[in-house]
């Protein structure tokens, strides 16, 4: 972060105004990237059109009436800033942190740039993790379609490619999903009061989604709590990488981490049951499985044909009374029968609906309309393709896109406290398509009408 005195800033702003008033003939366009501007009061009503404010610290700054026309505010921190009456036409707000800002009367925030949406699906890898992956562990960017289908057999070399590509994506997905969940104060309060969070991750691999969850807990809960983790995967090398990353995280947090890693290859249904039985002294508050069940399903063994029904059934037996189950997977083709193509999302939704129609212990809260319609959908042949896109930024790749499908299921204690309402006058979008910076609806929930009020089904 660059420190800048008020005198310097005054001069830069004068030069910038000259540049604006002479159409670029005199003066110079201000570059305030990575400047600490959090304590200045020179910026309200300022003309910051086209200014480079990339990564600047504007936390709590008085920005009333400031004109940011086409300014670069990427990754800038504006938390708690006063933006009343500010103009943001054409400003680049990718990765901008706008939490807690006062935005009364702000102009030029196009709907697709709503900060809530940006905060939700765009994530930057924290620096400590970026360094750990790329400098310490030798990760590299490597896109390979098989990375999410045959990773059980991955060698150390391939795992380094996984670490540089798919780990950050899983991190981002998990970080976004749990940031959304932990935005509810009563959920945080519950875990603070309990003094611990107990987590199980099946198919945890190198640990992308686990670390995403831990970082979210650390960012959202200041109190000292214990975090107990049971991490299960068949690939021993992947688990070793995971432990190394976890040990780096451990040094940065005041939370007590109790980590148990279980190297197990799942070959049949009873292997999952046995894992659960062995763990039944423990009830988990959070169970996660990211991009693992499709790897089991892809082998098409009779055991795993109904894996998305079987897994929640088994998980429900080892969940605490206030507990979350997140099943996330890829959106690729799973199988083709005749001329019907079955993609992972449609199979996942069909099987979880079937589970929910027979089980009273867990209910889906994300995607939101499933809360009302999951059992009803079980009676139909709808092929429901739900998908969310996430973007992750790290030192080796900007805006790397990940497309996944997921369901968040919770116990009664959680959904009753949430008081979730599915609104008949809202169109719940279950898949978005992106066109440059714009975001448009592609599919909506079969049961929601077309209205002019669209909502992201994946947001709580």
Ligand X SMILES: C[S@@+](CC[C@H](N)C(=O)[O-])C[C@H]1O[C@@H](n2cnc3c(N)ncnc32)[C@H](O)[C@@H]1O
Among 170, 323, 349, 364, binds ligand X (CB under 6 A): 170
Among 235, 346, 386, 427, binds ligand X (CB under 6 A): 235
CB atoms within 10 A of CB 270: 11
If binding is defined by CB under 6 A, does position 205 make contact with ligand X?
Answer: yes
Q: Identify which range of 9-17, 144-152, 311-319, 345-353 contacts ligand X by CB under 6 A.
A: 144-152
> Closer to ligand X at the Cβ: 15 or 244?
244
Among 85, 95, 234, 312, binds ligand X (CB under 6 A): 234
Point out which residues pair with 195 in neighbouring strands: none
> Closer to ligand X at the Cβ: 85 or 312?
312
Give min distance, CB of 265 to ligand X, in A.
4
Give min distance, CB of 152 to ligand X, in A.
4
Q: Identify which range of 78-86, 125-133, 230-238, 383-391 contacts ligand X by CB under 6 A.
A: 230-238
What the block records as the tokens of 155 is: 């060698």
> Closer to ligand X at the Cβ: 177 or 296?
296
Give min distance, CB of 79 to ligand X, in A.
29
Give min distance, CB of 211 to ligand X, in A.
9
Of 375, 361, 367, 368, nearest to 412 by C-alpha is 361
Among 120, 175, 284, 290, binds ligand X (CB under 6 A): 290
Q: Is omega for the bond preceding 416 within 30 degrees of 0, making it cis?
A: no
Residue 34 in contact with residue 53, Cβ under 8 Å? no
Q: Identify which range of 67-75, 233-241, 331-339, 372-380 contacts ligand X by CB under 6 A.
A: 233-241
| CA separation for the pair 218, 180 (Å, rounded) | 14
Give min distance, CB of 296 to ligand X, in A.
6
| CA separation for the pair 223, 220 (Å, rounded) | 9
Q: Identify which range of 88-96, 146-154, 274-282, 428-436 contacts ligand X by CB under 6 A.
A: 146-154
User: What is the distance of C-alpha 123 from the center of its chain?
Assistant: 7
| CA separation for the pair 310, 321 (Å, rounded) | 20
What the block records as the tokens of 175 is: 């970080």
- Long-range CB contact pairs, 278-283, < 8 A, 24+: 279/200, 279/230, 279/318, 280/317, 280/318, 282/198, 282/200, 282/228, 282/230, 282/318, 283/198, 283/318, 283/319, 283/320, 283/321, 283/323
If binding is defined by CB under 6 A, does position 331 make contact with ligand X?
Answer: no
If binding is defined by CB under 6 A, does position 166 make contact with ligand X?
Answer: yes
If binding is defined by CB under 6 A, does position 208 make contact with ligand X?
Answer: yes
Element at 263 (helix H, strand E): strand 256-263
Residue 432 in contact with residue 404, Cβ under 8 Å? no
If binding is defined by CB under 6 A, does position 204 make contact with ligand X?
Answer: yes
Residue recorded with tokens 């009664």: 412
CA distances from 416 to 109, 360, 365, 413 (A): 35, 13, 11, 5
Q: Identify which range of 31-39, 106-114, 199-207, 394-402 contacts ligand X by CB under 6 A.
A: 199-207
Give min distance, CB of 156 to ligand X, in A.
13
Give min distance, CB of 279 to ligand X, in A.
15
Binding site for ligand X (CB under 6 A): 148, 151-152, 166-167, 170, 203-205, 208-209, 233-235, 238, 265-266, 290-292, 295-296
């Amino acid at each position: 972060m660059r420190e800048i005195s008020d005198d310097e800033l005054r001069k830069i702003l004068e030069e910038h105004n000259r540049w604006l008033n002479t159409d670029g003939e005199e003066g110079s366009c201000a570059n305030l990237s990575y400047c600490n501007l959090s304590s200045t009061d020179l910026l309200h009503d300022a003309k910051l059109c086209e200014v480079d404010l990339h990564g600047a610290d504007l936390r709590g700054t008085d920005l009333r009436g400031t004109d940011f026309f086409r300014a670069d505010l990427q990754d800038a921190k504006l938390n708690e800033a006063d933006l009343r009456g500010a103009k943001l036409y054409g400003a680049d707000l990718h990765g901008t942190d706008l939490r807690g800002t006062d935005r009364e009367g702000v102009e030029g925030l196009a709907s697709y740039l709503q900060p809530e949406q940006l905060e939700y699906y765009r994530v930057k890898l924290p620096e400590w993790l970026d360094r750990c992956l790329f400098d310490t562990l030798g990760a590299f960017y490597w896109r390979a379609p098989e990375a999410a289908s045959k990773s059980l057999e991955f060698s150390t070399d391939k795992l380094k490619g996984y670490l540089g590509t798919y780990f950050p994506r899983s991190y981002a997905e998990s970080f976004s999903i749990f940031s959304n969940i932990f935005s509810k104060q009563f959920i945080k309060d519950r875990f603070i009061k309990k003094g611990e969070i107990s987590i199980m991750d099946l198919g945890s691999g190198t640990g992308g989604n686990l670390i995403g969850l831990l970082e979210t807990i650390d960012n959202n809960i200041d109190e000292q709590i214990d975090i107990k983790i049971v991490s299960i995967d068949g690939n021993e090398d992947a688990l070793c990488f995971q432990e190394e990353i976890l040990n780096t995280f451990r040094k940065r947090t005041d939370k007590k981490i109790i980590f148990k890693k279980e190297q197990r290859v799942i070959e049949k249904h009873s292997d999952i049951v046995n894992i659960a039985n062995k763990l039944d002294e423990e009830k988990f508050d959070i169970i996660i499985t990211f991009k693992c069940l499709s790897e089991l399903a892809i082998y098409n063994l009779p055991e795993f044909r109904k894996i998305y029904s079987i897994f929640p059934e088994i998980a429900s037996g080892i969940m605490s009374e206030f507990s979350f189950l997140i099943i996330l997977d890829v959106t690729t083709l799973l199988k083709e029968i005749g001329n019907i193509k079955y993609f992972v999302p449609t199979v996942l939704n069909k099987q979880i609906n079937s589970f929910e129609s027979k089980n009273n212990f867990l209910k889906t809260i994300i995607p939101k309309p499933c809360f009302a319609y999951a059992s009803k959908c079980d009676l139909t042949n709808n092929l429901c393709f739900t998908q969310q896109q996430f973007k992750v930024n790290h030192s080796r790749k900007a805006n790397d896109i990940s497309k996944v499908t997921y369901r968040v299921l919770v116990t009664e204690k959680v959904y009753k406290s949430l008081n979730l309402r599915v609104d008949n006058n809202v169109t719940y979008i279950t898949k978005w398509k992106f066109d440059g910076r714009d975001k448009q609806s592609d599919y909506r929930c079969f049961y929601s009408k077309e209205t002019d009020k669209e909502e992201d089904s994946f947001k709580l």
